[in-house]
Structure 1
Amino acid sequence: MRALTRSIGGALLASLFAAAAGAAPTEGLHPGAVFAQGGVGENGVQAAGIGLLWPWDWRAQAAGGEFSAQTELFVSQWRARGAAGAHEGYTQAGLVPLLRYRPDEGRSPWFVEGGIGLSVTDSLFTTPARTMGSRWNFSDNLAVGRNFGARGQHELSLRWQHTSNAGLKQPNPGLDLLMLRYSARF
């Protein structure tokens, strides 16, 4: 049964990816950037991940800056003390559309961004302090960052990621992670 659930979950995630990637990226299925991130969460949870970014062909000037959007696809590995006391590993995959704001009419190297997407873990996240009610969750993300390099092709960002199922299934304690991300644009 678990293999069937994983297969269905993988198919749904792939469908969401295809829909989001085909919606408005500038390069079709070719990503515009790659990233690596790592951080910590509540109760000693450690996380590390990699991902791809697809910029959208959309920009809007407002509030003295520029808004843009992108879609990220990520895979993370969480490490936490399991319910039995030993360390356990959990793999999370997610798809998140992000809205980015860059001040100074879009000329600033600084940005803030946020987005809400979907994620799934390979097994139910269970620690002595919390148990998630579902493997399927929302991934809420907020970040502040800065581009650097001759063409602004590199960026560092500090990110807050909240994972929970929005109360759709109990228990729903959620998990907060603070992550440092490095991205390189092609």
Structure 2
Amino acid sequence: MKKILLVLSFLMLSLQVQAQVVAIDLVKGEGEVLGLRLGYRPVEWHLAEIPLLGDAQLYMEVSANLWRYGEEPEYESNLAVALSPVLVKQFSTLYDRALYWEFGIGFSLLNKQRFAGKDLGSHYQFEDRVGLIWQLHSKAQLALRYMHYSNAGLQKPNPGLDFLALSYAYRF
């Protein structure tokens, strides 16, 4: 087992590419929840010939999410920081530009356990995402994604939070 982990670690490090991508997302949650999400992707890997997937990419994203619920002056806010590995695969083109799907499951830490009228059960949550990415040009992407935050039933209650996000990412 140690040998397998060592080989996998070596392969991941050897395939590492400095990505330097920043992203800004506008997020809409349930009810009156709105937010802003800032993401940074310091590294990405090109994964060649994965069984059943073929050619794909994997990137790590660290993000800060600021959510707001309600109207001023009585609104409440919550801050979440997250680390997520995200798998990306091109499946088509749109106007001669690549179209990708993405899927990721990461970890997040919320500032407040209670938010938007819900007891989320824990400050620790999983950040799940599925989305579509459209490559605008070599340095920019536009994405539409669904994101779900949940403690995966590790604590009670576990109502979760759901978001739709519109994202713009730029590679430096």
- Which TM-score band (shorter chain)? 0.7 to 0.9
Report the number of matched residues. 157
Determine the C-alpha separation between the residues in 1 that align with 2:90 and 2:169.
16
State percent identity of aligned pairs.
28
- Contact 2:20–2:43, Cα closer than 8 Å, also in 1: yes
- Contact 2:59–2:86, Cα closer than 8 Å, also in 1: yes
The residue number in structure 2 matching 1:115 is 104
- Contact 1:80–1:127, Cα closer than 8 Å, also in 2: yes
Determine the C-alpha separation between the residues in 1 that align with 2:42 and 2:101.
17
The structure whose residues are more often strand, as a share, is: 2
- Contact 2:33–2:116, Cα closer than 8 Å, also in 1: no
CA-based RMSD? 2.6
Q: Confirm whether residue 180 of structure 1 aligns to residue 166 of structure 2.
A: yes
- The structural deviation recorded for 1:47 is 1.2
The gaps in structure 1 that reach 5 residues or longer are 1-21
- TM normalised by structure 2 equals 0.81
- Structure 1 letter corresponding to 2:166: L
Q: Secondary structure, in 3 states, of the residue corresponding to 1:38?
A: strand
- Residues 1:173 and 1:73: Cα distance change in structure 2 (over 3 Å): same
Residues 23-102 of structure 1: pairs in structure 2 closer than 5 A: 25-27=16-18, 31-61=19-49, 66-81=55-70, 86-102=74-90
The gaps in structure 2 that reach 5 residues or longer are 1-11
- Structure 2 letter corresponding to 1:67: A
- The structural deviation recorded for 1:121 is 1.0
Runs of 4+ aligned residues of structure 1 deviating over 3 Å after TM superposition are: 22-25, 61-65
- Contact 1:140–1:161, Cα closer than 8 Å, also in 2: yes
Determine the C-alpha separation between the residues in 1 that align with 2:115 and 2:77.
10
Q: Deviations over 1:46-105 (max 9, x none)?
A: 1101110134333223668621100000001000139xx92101111000000001136x
Q: Report the more deviating stretch, 170-179 or 41-50.
A: 41-50
The structure whose residues are more often helix, as a share, is: 1
- Residues 1:103 and 1:64: Cα distance change in structure 2 (over 3 Å): farther
- The structural deviation recorded for 1:153 is 0.9
- Structure 1 letter corresponding to 2:68: R
Determine the C-alpha separation between the residues in 2 that align with 1:169 and 1:177.
21
- Contact 1:66–1:103, Cα closer than 8 Å, also in 2: no
- Structure 2 letter corresponding to 1:126: F
